[in-house]
Amino acid sequence: MKFIDEYRDPKLARSLVAEIHKTVTRPAVLMEICGGQTHTLMRYGIDELLPQQVEMVHGPGCPVCVTPLEIIDKAVAIASMPGVILVSYGDMLRVPGSESDLFHVKAAGGDVRIVYSPMDALRIARQQPERRVVFFAVGFETTAPANAMAVWQAKREGLRNFSILVSHVLVPPAIRLLLGLPGNRVQGFIAPGHVCTVMGYTEYEELAAEFHVPFVVGGFEPLDLLEAILMLVRQLEEGRATVENQYARSVTRLGNEPARRRMREVFEAAHRKWRGIGEIPLSGYRLRPEYAAFDAEQIFGVETRQVEEPAECISSRVLQGLAKPVDCPAFGTRCTPESPLGAPMVSSEGACAAYYQYRRHADVVMP
Amino acid sequence: MTLSCPLPLAAKDRILLGHGSGGKLSAELLRDVFLPAFRSPVLNRLDDQAVVEAGGARLAFTTDSFVVKPLFFRGGDIGSLAVYGTVNDLAMCGAEALYLSAAFILEEGFAMAALRRIAESMARAAEAAGVEIVTGDTKVVEKGSGDGVFINTAGIGLAPVGLSLSAANARPGDRILLSGTLGDHGIAILSEREGIAFETPAESDSAPLNGLVREMLAATAATAATAGIRAMRDPTRGGLASTLHEIAAQSGVGMALEEEAIPIREEVRGACELLGLDPLYVANEGKLVAIVAPEAAEAALAAMRRHPLGARASMIGTVTGAHRGMVTLKSVFGTTRLVNMLAGDQLPRIC
């Protein structure tokens, strides 16, 4: 298949692996930030091909995983209201809030629908003016432009029955937090290719200079990741700490300016709580005041209580690279994708769920 | 435990869509509700069909309901699917389907022309599969209580004497054969449902497998006194992964697959990439997976390839004594990963 098979070629993979083995002379702890990249690493067993000195640590870039329980509770409460159609990306439906998930709301008679784009939610709102349509706007900088576009379009059309429940988070503030932690082990980052397609990578240049850590903007196919790892290892071996772009077929330094303009028009930076991490200053988006009429939180005014994560969950240590998912005593037993105790087990892009799906060993009890 | 939240959501108080997915939730429904209620040793075998003795004959008996949306799709419709589905469930124990029943739950207001089209399609499908629809039933529910039309078919056939195919028969060393490409039906349905237009649209593989099974049995009967073919299944909902998990669990063995050997059409691969789905979990309606003794594997594979429905048949892996109850896949890079059983339906990912 064109544009896929070129990036999964076993022969090319072997030569990249050999090159990494040849280059590395000292330990290197690398983090792939994006959950999509974690998924590829696990699915193809890329980390098993690497030299022992190269350790991959799995970052917080799984939008489903880091969505706080409070927001899921809000979505559940809104979806349970009469006359509401809650529209969401598929993998948000299974995520348990503190008491229920959207699948259960649907089974109890709530109107919950899966779409591939917020524009589909807009279409539903146009077709059913008597219903209130709420789109669950989750994700990083990647999904923000389309969500901004939907709100912008709704305002232009004067749609009064459309709103979004915003839970947008941003990558650079979370990386800054990780780099500033006293026990940080991560020496180099694979920056998220799709986020950078929108945002460009100037923000990562600031981080690279400030913390003297190399970044390589990486794609999502096996060869993308191997090449990005090789580029990071080379930088570390040569003592460099710059931002390089492996994913040049999609990413430019300045990103997609028209998309960012639309995002700036609709959203503004806000403090956000990350599931498994806590509140990070200015790490997300909220709707600007001039778009308040499309803000589901304001329209529905749902109160939610603060909920605590289970003490047993070691997700914050996993996300910092201090522990691997299989180090957790609850992994695969008390904590599974069907009943996750913590964020990284929630979606298949989370580190724990990726291990569970592809790497659970026979000695782990099947639930 | 001191956990306050999130409480694991036991899916026990209401039926979720995932209970119909063929994954873990479906298995729980059987285990917790139906098996304890019906207490039948035959049912407890959890094969796709029951094989029972009656009047000196070995009868194979099965039933299946069809609720597919859209009703008409590339490569088939709900009518042909309802006939082939039941014929195939019988074929998986080596039985030739003889007679079918057909029951219709119709929604008030459903177009007569569509119903006629479905009935004609069923007649053609029955003829192609060599079965007769001999009894039936019709119910009409109020508008809003159904979704156009639901069809149930049941079928009986004669199971060959001396042949016992069961998902509990797989042994370490056996070979895993797949009759053709994966995921054609599921992707055809999904593209139609979501209105996704691909340059080469996927087409459902809906087809009767009894002819293919006949060829396979004939080719392997001569190979060994012991049954060369141990088990057969048609990997419908839940796909190949769920089917192999069921066999692995029932036989107490592991399954080791080779990614390179699994045939998948380009258009299906493309759609799966785009939609974030894994073809191993996507439904098929005209494919079978056979667990075959090593000495009979070549003969069975050759027989499959001689039949038009098995032209792209492939040996996709081996049954192992290691990692019992689990399915693994060796990637093109030589690394091995686990193929998990899904809880419910496969969900498209955000990014």
Distance from the Cα of A189 to chain B's closest Cα (Å) equals: 19
Residue in B3, B17, B343 closest to A341 by CB: B3
Supply the range of the domain harboring residue B198: 175-339
Q: Does A116 touch chain B (CB under 8 A)?
A: yes
- Chain mean pLDDT for chain A: 91
Q: Cβ separation of B333 and A10 shorter than 8 Å?
A: yes
- State the pLDDT at residue B243: 95
Residues B299 and B181 in one domain: yes
* A247 or A304, which is more confident: A247
Distance of CA A362 to the CA centre of its chain: 29
Distance from the Cα of A358 to chain B's closest Cα (Å) equals: 4
Comparing C-alpha atoms, which of B140, B131, B152 is closest to residue B65?
B152
Between CA B337 and CA B297 the distance in angstroms is 25
Q: What would the pLDDT profile of B219-254 be if each residue is shown by its tens digit?
A: 887 555 456 999 999 999 899 999 999 999 999 999
CATH number at residue B328: 3.90.650.10
Q: What would the pLDDT profile of B21-72 be if each residue is shown by its tens digit?
A: 877 888 889 999 999 999 999 999 888 899 999 988 999 999 999 999 899 9
- Domain presence at residue B327: yes
Categorize the per-residue pLDDT at A365 as very low, low, confident or very high, splitting at 50, 70 and 90: very low
Q: Cβ separation of A48 and B9 shorter than 8 Å?
A: no
Mean pLDDT for the stretch of residues A12-21:
96
Domains along the sequence of chain A with CATH: 1-309 (3.40.50.11740), 315-359 (no CATH)
Between CA A14 and CA A22 the distance in angstroms is 12
- Domain presence at residue B37: no
Domain count, chain B: 2
- Domain presence at residue B179: yes
pLDDT of B6 above 50: no
* A102 or B6, which is more confident: A102
* A192 or B344, which is more confident: A192
Residues B100 and B200 in one domain: no
* B100 or A362, which is more confident: B100
* Residue that is last in its domain, among B126, B158, B190: B158
Residues B211 and B324 in one domain: yes
Q: What would the pLDDT profile of A139-160 be if each residue is shown by its tens digit?
A: 999 999 999 999 999 999 999 9
Residues B216 and B129 in one domain: no
* CA terminus-to-terminus distance, chain B: 35
CATH number at residue B153: 3.30.1330.10
- Domain presence at residue B319: yes
* Residue that is last in its domain, among B158, B188, B221: B158
| Percentage of chain A exceeding pLDDT 70 | 98
Residues B135 and B219 in one domain: no
Residues B188 and B315 in one domain: yes
Q: Does B1 touch chain A (CB under 8 A)?
A: yes
Q: Does B322 touch chain A (CB under 8 A)?
A: yes
- State the pLDDT at residue B347: 66
Q: What would the pLDDT profile of B253-299 be if each residue is shown by its tens digit?
A: 999 999 999 999 999 998 898 888 899 999 999 999 999 999 999 99
| CA quadruple A332, A333, A339, A342: dihedral sign | negative
Residues B254 and B111 in one domain: no
Task: Report phi then psi at A222, rounded to 5.
Answer: -55, -45
A135: part of which helix (H) or strand (E)? strand A132-139
Residues B335 and B205 in one domain: yes
Q: What would the pLDDT profile of B162-220 be if each residue is shown by its tens digit?
A: 888 889 999 999 999 999 999 999 999 988 887 777 777 889 999 999 999 999 999 88
- Domain presence at residue B305: yes
Residues B334 and B207 in one domain: yes
Residues B54 and B201 in one domain: no
Between CA B308 and CA B128 the distance in angstroms is 14
pLDDT of B98 above 70: yes
- Domain presence at residue B166: no
Between CA A313 and CA A6 the distance in angstroms is 39
- State the pLDDT at residue B22: 77
Non-local (6+) Cβ contacts of A189 within 8 A are A30, A31, A32, A33, A59, A175, A204, A213, A214, A215, A216, A232
Q: Cβ separation of B336 and A45 shorter than 8 Å?
A: yes
- State the pLDDT at residue A219: 96
pLDDT of B4 above 60: no
Residue identified by tokens 């603060």 is A306
Coil vs helix vs strand at A203: helix
Q: Which ipTM value was assigned to this complex?
A: 0.79
Between CA A57 and CA A355 the distance in angstroms is 12
pLDDT of B8 above 70: no
* Residue that is last in its domain, among B111, B133, B158: B158
Q: Cβ separation of B1 and A334 shorter than 8 Å?
A: yes
- Domain presence at residue B19: no
Categorize the per-residue pLDDT at A367 as very low, low, confident or very high, splitting at 50, 70 and 90: very low
Interface of B with A in 176-215 (CB under 8 A): 194
Residue identified by tokens 């330990």 is A27
Residues B191 and B216 in one domain: yes
Categorize the per-residue pLDDT at A312 as very low, low, confident or very high, splitting at 50, 70 and 90: confident
Non-local (6+) Cβ contacts of A177 within 8 A are A277, A280, A283
Between CA A157 and CA A330 the distance in angstroms is 50
pLDDT of A96 above 90: no
Give this prediction's pTM: 0.86
Residues B190 and B304 in one domain: yes
Burial class (CB in 10 A: 0-12, 13-18, 19+), B136: middle
- Domain presence at residue B6: no
